[in-house]
Structure 1
């Protein structure tokens, strides 16, 4: 249980689980006293999962639990682990079943007055245009050849097919493409993905029209093209059934290939493969192909948003600010013990937050730092941050990815009424359109941690610093 974990405060908002028998490194836990206390309830395994991650072969420096940390599959959600590329391992639990689940932000030239009176119709049109829920098709019609092209090319395929601009690629992490191999994606995953390009999915995924309520850093906000009262659109989705099936099948392959490893683990959900094994390379290639699918999926929804804003509001300039993933493992250069090494950085429910100057950041933002988007919930604020100066030292260039769940979906369904939630949000001027009442109840604002506190800690630690706060106008869910 989490409460049995030895946890020591080493600085403000910084706690540590010291290295002990079986651990390769200590665990760093970042959070306020209130956030860390939420990780220590009797039925929460966040900290014990963090400790388990610290036992992975080849892990370097420390395992990380971020301010939004909560228990997940093997790894805590809000977790980071960087492993040596020669002696380390790759673990699907450190990436997640929704490969390259991520967030993108679109900016428009509109202000809140421009959309006043259109909110309900805007919600309805977006809901009708962007398929939501399990299955439900996609905005783009694709065949199997298209799907293989997307798995290989990601955003490049979308541009060549006329569904993206060069500017879209330039404002996307990795330019929207990793070097994956479609041939490593399982056949069943392919069958689940070919009709889902441009679909929102279910659960905590959403498409939300927002108003920029506050700007904290005018210079950085200007670099991002944001200003107070500006209308923006946030999209949170991933690789849908294709990514989930890919992860599921490789977890099974790892378990079959390495039964001794599975038996030796403190938690079988932590299953991994050594990086020098072929099945590890196969999974990495499949994971990158699924990541390309996720970028294409969010791009197709961007095109759907552009269509709706043009038809309904006469706006033809809906631009991509940035797209950042928060379920991925990638090779990156990091300084450790006075030297610089290439590490495979697992981010599971964690957003890359590189500070100014890193070459991976687009030219437009390199002088201010990478854009970071942290959603709250459909009834609370979301935030725009930029990569903080201390992120490389403290978190391998990472920060939180959201508010973080406080209550399980089952618990939320028992405690919240979808009808009452709709009425309450409507009274606050927030128009919600969802495929089911169950989804609304699961995603009630009360089911999440305090996003303001998560952001306060990130900003105080200087791992992701505040740029702007946005508030919802209408929210589309599956």
Structure 2
């Protein structure tokens, strides 16, 4: 791995000086303790952070968060803000799994309540929530028209199909629906990949876990998330936009690679392919990306509904009481 110079700012902040590479427009900023930093040095994380600092219109820093590791163009855990008029949009910065995220479901149950039926609960959830490469739920399919409504309406469309409670959208970022989604900017290939994957976990590092609260460090913040006591049982869902989002990223990376030459952008890595923020290429990508964002919100919503149904089946009580 290339040696990337680092200047220590404080215990958890490290700077990659702007002079490290010709063309860097801003310094790099790494947020990590020494142990995490050593892990970052084992792959191209720091080099990718420095590369991101070359992007036109980038503001102040190219940032890498503590979970940083090598990604596509950007490091995973990379953050960059660019000026709307002078900056760019890079699909590699958003990533292949658009709006990959985590949903937390709290319960009023404790480990003692769950433990006697844990095996049955796990088995029931496993039956209700498809997981693994190419996973799909046989009894829940959408048409192309319905998929396009899901792209523009997000979580609310899923709730309207009976998969959720009215208030669920209030607990999601953007209320479960990002504006400016335009299905016309999504390829037929992406739509076909998305038809059968709504409500599926997928593979890789995605997970659905039954968890317990081990320790509360900040009661005020914990309470905002519905976490009231140690030993409380929660469920965590980690997944994103599945093959739908992956295809959108793939489609637009090819478009952005052509845009780099069209707009004569100088980049240190072809994986940073991008287009000026005000260009047609960037606007089209943003509208397609918003469709994938809403798909991911909807995906987690459907899974959450089936988790609730699993609890109801095992504990013979309405989910609202748990």
TM-score range, shorter chain: over 0.9
Residue in structure 2 matching 1:277, options 264, 276, 279: 279
After superposition, give the CA deviation of every residue in 1:248-279 in whole Å (9 maximum; x if it has no partner): 01001111233366884211101001111101
Deviates more, 1:29-38 or 1:309-318: 309-318
**C-alpha deviations, 1:316-358, integer Å up to 9, x for none?**
23699xxxxxxxxxxxxxxxxxxxxxxxxxxxxxxxxxxxxxx
2:71 matched residue in structure 1: 72
CA distance in 1, matches of 2:102, 2:212: 17
Task: Say if 2:31 and 2:66, in contact at 8 Å, map to a contact too.
Answer: yes
Distance 2:39 2:221 in 1: 32
Structure 2 distance, partners of 1:219, 1:91, is 37
**Cα gap change, 1:46/1:262 in structure 2, threshold over 3 Å: closer, same or farther?**
farther
Question: How many positions carry a matched residue from both structures?
Answer: 317
Tell me the SS of whatever aligns to 2:226. Answer: coil
Single out whichever of 299-308 and 111-120 deviates more from structure 2. Answer: 111-120
236 and 110 in structure 1: CA distance in 2 versus 1, 3 angstrom threshold: same
1:137 match: 136
2:8 maps to 9
Q: Verify: 1:189 aligned to 2:190, yes or no.
A: yes
1:196 and 1:70 map into 2 onto residues whose CA distance is 27
Supply the distance in 2 between the matched residues of 1:264 and 1:319 (Cα, whole angstroms).
Answer: 58
Shift of 1:228: 1.3
Contact kept, 8 Å, 2:129 with 2:303, in 1: the verdict is yes
Quote the Cα distance in structure 2 between the aligned partners of 1:214 and 1:318: 25
TM-score by length of 1: 0.64
C-alpha contact 1:262 1:271 (8 A) present in aligned 2: no
The aligned residue for residue 198 of structure 1 is: 199
Seen in structure 2, the aligned counterparts of structure 1 residues 152 and 126 have a Cα distance that, compared at 3 Å, is same
Confirm or deny that 1:160 pairs with 2:160. yes
Q: Is the 8 A contact 1:73 1:93 kept in 2?
A: yes
TM-score (norm 2): 0.94
In the alignment, does 2:307 pair up with 1:305?
Answer: yes
> Which residue pairs with 1:96 in the alignment?
95
1:171-320 pair list within 5 angstroms: 171-179=171-179, 180-226=181-227, 227-259=229-261, 264-317=266-319
Aligned to 2:86: 87
CA displacement at 1:166 relative to structure 2: 2.7
In structure 2, what is the Cα distance between the partners aligned to 1:234 and 1:319? Answer: 19
Identify the range of structure 1 (280-289 vs 248-257) with the bigger mean alpha-carbon deviation. 248-257
Could you tell me which residue of structure 1 aligns to residue 146 of structure 2?
146
Contact 2:259 2:274 in 1 (8 A): no
Q: 1:261 to 1:268 in 2, by over 3 A?
A: farther
Counterpart mapping for 1:293-372 below 5 A: 293-317=295-319
Residue pair 1:255, 1:262 contacting (<8 A) in 2 also: no
2:191 aligns to what SS in structure 1? Answer: helix
Q: Is the 8 A contact 2:12 2:33 kept in 1?
A: yes
CA shift, 1:223, in A, is 3.0
Report the Cα distance in structure 2 between the residues aligned to 1:56 and 1:250, rounded to whole angstroms.
18
Q: Work out whether 1:123 is the aligned partner of 2:125.
A: no
**Partner SS state of residue 83, structure 1:** coil
Higher helix share: 2
Flag the structure with higher strand content. Answer: 1
Gaps of 5+ in 1: 321-478
Instruction: Find the aligned partners of 1:49 and 1:38 in 2 and give their Cα distance.
Output: 14
Question: 1:406-439 CA deviation, whole Å, 9 max, x = no partner?
Answer: xxxxxxxxxxxxxxxxxxxxxxxxxxxxxxxxxx
Taking the aligned partners of 2:249 and 2:185, their CA distance within structure 1 comes to 12
* 1:151–1:293 CA contact under 8 A, matched in 2: yes
Distance 2:68 2:123 in 1: 34
